[in-house]
A and B are shown apart, each in its own frame.
Chain A
Amino acid sequence: MIGALLLTGVALVGAGGLLCAARSSFRTGLSLEAAGAAAVAVAGFWALASGTSVGGTFTNHLTPRLGLDPLSGLFLGTLGLVGAPALCFARDYLRPTGKDRAVGSLTAGFLLAMVGVLCARDPATLLAGWELMTLLPAAVILVAHQEDRHARQSVFTYLAVTHLGGVGTWVAVLLLARAGAIGSPGVIHAGSGLQAVVVVAALVGLGTKAGVMPLHVWLPRAHPIAPAPVSALMSGVMIKIGIYLMVRVLVDWAGPLPVWLGILVLATGALSAVGGVTYALFEHDLKRLLAMHSIENIGIIVMGIGACVLLRNRGADGWAALALGAALLHTVNHAVFKSLLFLCAGAFERMAGRLDLDRLGGLLRRVPVVGGSFLVGSMAIAGLPPLNGFASEWLTLQALVHVPRYGRVADGLAGALALGALAATAALAAFCFVKVVGLVLLGSPRRDPPVDARQPSAGMAGAVAFLALACAALGVAPGVLLARLVGLAPWSAGLPVGMGLRLPGTGSLPSPAIAVLLIVLAGALVLLRGRGRAAAPAAPTWACGQVVSRRLEWTGAGFTKPLRLALEVVLRPQRDVVSRQEAGVLQEVGYQGQVPHLIEERVYAPTHRLAMAAATRLRRLQSGNLGTYVGYLMGVVLLLLVAARLGLV
């Protein structure tokens, strides 16, 4: 039944993609894609809930084989949970123009490629799906921005970085297949060189796709320029496929890992979490800001995986399973709230024309459903109770607390530092989304809407409202999902199902009670506010005698200035003040500021320069003369023959 449902879902997505190509059936096509995604979600979550496997098992041979197990089910369920509302949103967001029809069809291909990776049971299908999953969103972006040179450059960077990093995925998967370890944990010896190479290669390859720092540079470029539903799928699902394979390799196939590898994973996660949120704070574009937050949240997930590896190494199997459960729960949660935020950003873009934070404002009053959903998503990503982000971050925090408890000096110290990093990340995320909510939703609009501004349709509002409800449901009853997620650890039997989070030997999280308490408190505050309004009539704003205008409102740069000054030594912000004078009288002062990304400046830029210099030198070999090329061939043949003669090959 699960298999039939999954196949139906896949067929619907495929058929929808084909229908999208025609103008008359464009919206029907997207509806079919959404229905297919919903069927995939049901099949996936069903496999997770029942703990059943369908189809083939993992093989190390290159014969194509497909199947489904509970872990694949979780990610397929997440794909459908995000994909269905994103495609419903796309029905009204995209128009049946040639460009958008191509986007609709390619999106179906993109979904199917992701399903292919999740259902692959052999190295060939896995790697083929992996490459398709990389190429199809690039095609979507290129189609959507055909004449935009900046977009083409961003796509080039995306393809270059993901393919260079993707070598790690190929190395890891092929080495695992050669060792016969795909689907067979315990084949690779713990602490062996092969294990280290596989894990490091996987961390590079899969980490690049997941957007882990310092391999993240493609992410803030590619995600923001994709159409909103595709951004939601990229940030909500595609980068999670990297996490799916990371869990397969690091937690299962490669066997128990040594402490140093666990520390490496933990450190990578901590760097991504803190780095992602820090740079997000200083972004001025909403979609870029959200993309930076994807890096932060991937960091939190990777920290959970790192904690799992370390705790398992120290024999704390129960807590290792909980750490894995925390990582997987945050994976689902991030998929839901990030896709919600990207879809809302898409709706705002259609209304305001641009997503420059300092040009938005007052959207909560203008579009209450979408604005309210955005508020829910912002609270979830900021880790505020009673929403889903809080539950999984709290659980990750609990897992990290136990790393020093069970570990020795090195892993204990790493665990403690990671704990601090997670706390700092949570605080900075809350700070960042106070800024975002204040600038985007509150106040008054700071620019007139463009002439082609479009109000979000009921379909678009319904899609984001559904995801907002999912954030709330996952926040109020995280225990329902967590019980199954903990059971996904190969050594764990799972937890008893409950609404809240009940942890052994530590405080539990009664999330339904917290939700009720907060709702009561919020209700009381609303009542109090209602009374206060009657007592104190509104008064005009005092602005030191100036005329109150839109230009006096908060800006993102102004809000984050204290933090920017505090972190000046590390971040090295750049500012440029330009003044214009006429007849000695100051007429205008312009201010431009930015916080450069240090990893890009200090690592990628010099590497790029070196690579270009080397390419220029190597280009001398490319003479354009046919004779020279044949000469190269002759040389290679002779060299190979000499090597064969000497017994070297």
Chain B
Amino acid sequence: MNGPAVWALVVLGLGVVVVRRRSTAVGLVTAQALVLVGVALSRARTGNDVLAAAALAVRAVAFAGLLMFLVSRTRELRPVRAKVAAPVRAGLALGFALALTWLVPISPAADHYAHQGVLALVAFGVSTVATRRATLFHVLGIVLVENGLALAALTLHGGSSLEIELGVTLDLTLLTLVASVFHQRIFAEFGAGDAGALRSLRD
């Protein structure tokens, strides 16, 4: 796997963990997906591979559109502040990523670079959900994890396929739609897409 591409994916993922604005984070996730499209195209050997890359590209653009639509529908006066400061979030995410890369065993046949990249993206996605209060960032965390899984699929022998990409797209679309509906409902109820407000519902 191309080292700079993996580094680009990881840096973009870390950006999602630390940035403040939702639209910036959407841009970063979309950029990440487009990098994945580039990787897919560079590794394409057959027409099916190209179609899979095209499906990945359509998914990236469609999600960018959906997420930007959500941002525009739920404009907030001030961005929801995360309880954890950006440097601490970055530290936690990096620590989790390092722990995973140390603990998860690597198959000798696997691409070392790509494997670590996948684990880092999964760690960043989970860390985003854990440390951010803005509900849209929770959706973005899930998309981040999915991008990590897409990278893992590309490193497989034979790469991804149109069927896999369509299946993943359907899966992710459903998940994102449900999460988006929740985000909108929370915004309508509490005036902000803040998961912290849900604590009042605990009892």
Question: Of the candidates B96, B99, B104, B133, which one forms a contact with A627 in the assembled complex, judged by CB atoms under 8 Å apart?
Answer: B133
Complex contact A625–B126 (CB within 8 A)? no
Give A621 Cβ to nearest chain B Cβ, in Å. Answer: 12
Give A133 to B105 CA distance when docked, in angstroms.
47
Looking at chain A's contact residues, is the secondary structure mostly helix, strand, loop, or mixed? helix
Give A469 to B99 CA distance when docked, in angstroms.
77
B199 CB contacts on chain A under 8 angstroms = 623-625
Give A526 Cβ to nearest chain B Cβ, in Å. Answer: 69
Question: Of the candidates A623, A624, A627, A645, which one forms a contact with B130 in the assembled complex, judged by CB atoms under 8 Å apart?
Answer: A627
Identify the interface centre among A631, A633, A644: most chain B CB within 10 Å of its CB.
A631
* A626 adjacent to chain B (CB < 8 Å): yes
Complex contact A641–B130 (CB within 8 A)? no
Give A208 to B133 CA distance when docked, in angstroms.
47
Give A625 to B103 CA distance when docked, in angstroms.
27
* B65 adjacent to chain A (CB < 8 Å): no
Give A645 to B200 CA distance when docked, in angstroms.
40
* A497 adjacent to chain B (CB < 8 Å): no
Chain A proximity mask over B32-72: 1 for CB below 8 Å, otherwise 0? 00000000000000000000000000000000000000000
Chain B proximity mask over A619-635: 1 for CB below 8 Å, otherwise 0? 00011111100110110
Give A625 to B202 CA distance when docked, in angstroms.
9
Give A492 to B99 CA distance when docked, in angstroms.
66
Give B70 Cβ to nearest chain A Cβ, in Å. Answer: 18
Give A624 to B203 CA distance when docked, in angstroms.
9
Given contacts A641-B100, A642-B103, contact A624 B129 (CB under 8 A): no
**Minimal Cβ-Cβ distance residue in A for B99:** A638
A645 CB contacts on chain B under 8 angstroms = 103
B202 CB contacts on chain A under 8 angstroms = 622-624
B100 CB contacts on chain A under 8 angstroms = 641
Give A430 to B96 CA distance when docked, in angstroms.
73
B131 CB contacts on chain A under 8 angstroms = 627
Given contacts A627-B129, A627-B131, A627-B195, contact A634 B201 (CB under 8 A): no
Given contacts A623-B199, A625-B196, contact A630 B103 (CB under 8 A): no
* B132 adjacent to chain A (CB < 8 Å): yes
Give A623 to B83 CA distance when docked, in angstroms.
15
A623 CB contacts on chain B under 8 angstroms = 199, 202
User: Is the interface on chain A under 10, 10 to 19, 20 to 34, or 35 or more residues?
Assistant: 10 to 19
* B156 adjacent to chain A (CB < 8 Å): no
Give B72 Cβ to nearest chain A Cβ, in Å. Answer: 24
* B138 adjacent to chain A (CB < 8 Å): yes
Give A490 to B201 CA distance when docked, in angstroms.
60
Question: Of the candidates B103, B138, B200, which one forms a contact with A626 in the assembled complex, judged by CB atoms under 8 Å apart?
Answer: B138
Given contacts A625-B196, A626-B138, A626-B198, contact A633 B99 (CB under 8 A): no
Give A608 to B133 CA distance when docked, in angstroms.
37
**Minimal Cβ-Cβ distance residue in B for A644:** B103
Identify the interface centre among A626, A627, A630, A644: most chain B CB within 10 Å of its CB.
A627
List A residues 600-641 near B (Cβ within 8 Å).
622-627, 630-631, 633-634, 638, 641
Complex contact B201–A627 (CB within 8 A)? no
Complex contact A634–B96 (CB within 8 A)? yes
Give A644 to B104 CA distance when docked, in angstroms.
9
Complex contact A638–B103 (CB within 8 A)? yes
Chain B proximity mask over A260-302: 1 for CB below 8 Å, otherwise 0? 0000000000000000000000000000000000000000000
Give A630 to B126 CA distance when docked, in angstroms.
7
Give A634 to B127 CA distance when docked, in angstroms.
9
Give A626 to B194 CA distance when docked, in angstroms.
11
Give A630 to B142 CA distance when docked, in angstroms.
12
A638 CB contacts on chain B under 8 angstroms = 96, 99, 103
A625 CB contacts on chain B under 8 angstroms = 195-196, 199
Give A623 to B126 CA distance when docked, in angstroms.
18
**Minimal Cβ-Cβ distance residue in B for A632:** B130
Complex contact B129–A630 (CB within 8 A)? yes
Complex contact A634–B198 (CB within 8 A)? no
**Minimal Cβ-Cβ distance residue in A for B122:** A637
Give A634 Cβ to nearest chain B Cβ, in Å. Answer: 6
Complex contact A641–B195 (CB within 8 A)? no
Chain A proximity mask over B115-157: 1 for CB below 8 Å, otherwise 0? 0000000000011011111000010000000000000000000
B83 CB contacts on chain A under 8 angstroms = 627
Complex contact A626–B195 (CB within 8 A)? yes
A633 CB contacts on chain B under 8 angstroms = 126
Give B133 Cβ to nearest chain A Cβ, in Å. Answer: 7
22 sampled A-B residue pairs with Cβ under 8 A: A623-B199, A623-B202, A624-B198, A624-B199, A624-B200, A624-B201, A624-B202, A625-B195, A625-B199, A626-B138, A626-B195, A626-B198, A627-B83, A627-B129, A627-B133, A627-B195, A634-B96, A634-B127, A638-B99, A641-B104, A644-B103, A645-B103
Interface residue ranges, B against A (CB under 8 Å): 83, 96, 99-100, 103-104, 126-127, 129-133, 138, 195-196, 198-202
Interface residue ranges, A against B (CB under 8 Å): 622-627, 630-631, 633-634, 638, 641-642, 644-645
9 smallest A-B Cβ distances: which pairs? A624-B202, A641-B103, A624-B199, A630-B130, A627-B130, A626-B195, A630-B129, A631-B130, A645-B103
